[in-house]
Chains A and B, each alone.
Chain A
Amino acid sequence: MLRGSITIGQYLPIESSIHRLDPRTKIIAVLAYVIVLFLISAYTGYLVMAGLTAIIAVLGKIPLRMLARGLRPILFIIVLTVMLNAVMTPGELLYRIGPLSITEEGLLQAGFMASRLLLLIMTTSMLTLTTAPIDLTDGIEYLLGPFKRIGVPAHELAMMMTIALRFIPTLLDEAERIMKAQMARGADFETGSFIQRAKNMIPLLVPLFISAFRRADDLALAMEARCYRGGEGRSRFKVLHMEKLDAAAALTLALGFSAALMV
């Protein structure tokens, strides 16, 4: 019931040059993309950014369907933005529908905001489409490394995320099993008033918590038995390396970003 509708991660496991990029390159690239997107003040800049997004999508062999699916949840907000901007911006009158007046400036403004949102969502979702979650957490650990000096627990955070990722399927299975067991005893998770539904969750949550506690205890014991004692001097199974491909990607993006900001 839960597993059917839930795939762990949006990651598309295929072979492409974007998939092969170092996760650090991709994280920094997406951050830079978002910043540039908010600095742009002209339509032509968005055309350049859209071109970059299209190139990444083609190189990453991402099906259009997947990108469109990522947009569905924010469709409502995009429609709201477009409508509000079209109606609320003062300027030259184009149409009048009852009390609402649509202005030329309003339409331009609406188009501007909608393209920004579309590009923002598509590009950030491409990061998770082309990078496995475990590589992303690895990349985050490397990128947070320099901040260790000011007390950011980079290794611990990455370790927690890796452990959590590993246990998500286990906990999902368990949640499903407990739900079925409670439903067989007459529990009802889908109807009733809000407060009632919240209360109905208790027979599901209590066993889930207890099992999470128990698993945490077992795992901590197992780790200590194998002499785990934090990040200092720990060796890695998989070491991240920057390659020529990353340099090429960085150069292309730098050129694209400056073009987008100039025009």
Chain B
Amino acid sequence: MKSSTSRLVSIALFGALATVLMWFPKFPLLPAAPFLSYDFSDVPVLIGTFSMGPVPGVLIVIVKNVLYFVTRSRSGLIGTFMNWSTTTVLILVAGIIYHYVRRDRWGALTGMLVGTGLMAIVGVILNIHVALPIWGIPTEQIIPLIQTAVLPFNLLRGLISTLVTMLLYRRTTDLMRRHFKLAS
């Protein structure tokens, strides 16, 4: 790792990039649930996590969500909170596996896949116990909808981000190594 200033600035820039990508035209993944839409903001967070570590990764997610909230919150506090918590799960798992278990392409892939699975599970739990009670949607009757919408949404979201990150990984690792002096 280079100086702490370089690290601080890199986290800020990755956060800015993630926010910008969150503004891009979003596309709904599942026709049944138009309020769940995909954006590419997980990709810079993942690349940042792989190049700097899990803790900077968590900070990037915080920067991204706070900035998204203060600039153009779409679904307000609850949507921001759901996005923040699911993304944090994904990058923590991916970052820890990559940095402490296996630091190469396969470590990154495994980390992201395991992270996607956990993110989907956490997404369902948080939806049932946090988001739906706040939105005032009666929980018992809606569980089938969660199983058919939220679970596949988070799985698909994780898989697409994994795919794009893997495609980018090869093209950005050299650069990342030069910048952050990673041992490969």
Q: Residues of A at under 8 Å CB distance from B? A: 2, 6-10, 34, 38, 73-74, 76-77, 80-81, 84-85, 88-89, 112-114, 116-117, 120-121, 124-125, 128, 131, 133, 136-137, 140, 153, 156-157, 159-165, 167-168, 171-172, 175, 194-195, 197-199, 201-202, 205-206, 208-210, 212-213, 215-217, 219-220, 223-224, 228-230
| Contacts known (A120-B76, A124-B76); A228 close to B17, Cβ less than 8 A | no
Question: Please, what's the 1-or-0 string for B144-184, where 1 marks a CB less than 8 Å from any CB in chain A?
Answer: 00000000000000001001100110011001100100000
Which chain A residues lie closer than 8 Å to B160 at the CB level? 194-195, 198
Chain A, Cβ-Cβ closest to B43: A205
Chain B, Cβ-Cβ closest to A155: B8
Which chain B residues lie closer than 8 Å to A6 at the CB level? 23, 72
The CA-CA distance from A124 to B63 in the complex, in Å, is 18
24 pairs, A vs B, C-beta closer than 8 Å:
A9-B71, A10-B73, A73-B35, A74-B76, A77-B75, A81-B136, A84-B137, A84-B141, A160-B15, A161-B15, A164-B16, A168-B67, A172-B20, A195-B160, A195-B163, A198-B164, A199-B164, A201-B40, A209-B47, A212-B16, A212-B17, A213-B179, A216-B6, A223-B5
Q: How far is the CB of A141 from chain B (nearest CB, A)?
A: 11
Cβ-defined contact, B5 with A224, below 8 A: yes
Cβ-defined contact, B20 with A34, below 8 A: no
The CA-CA distance from A125 to B134 in the complex, in Å, is 17
| Contacts known (A163-B9, A219-B9); A9 close to B63, Cβ less than 8 A | no
Main secondary structure of the interface of A (DSSP, over half): helix
| Contacts known (A73-B74, A128-B70, A205-B43); A2 close to B141, Cβ less than 8 A | no
Which chain B residues lie closer than 8 Å to A206 at the CB level? 168, 171-172
Cβ-defined contact, A117 with B67, below 8 A: no
Cβ-defined contact, B40 with A160, below 8 A: no
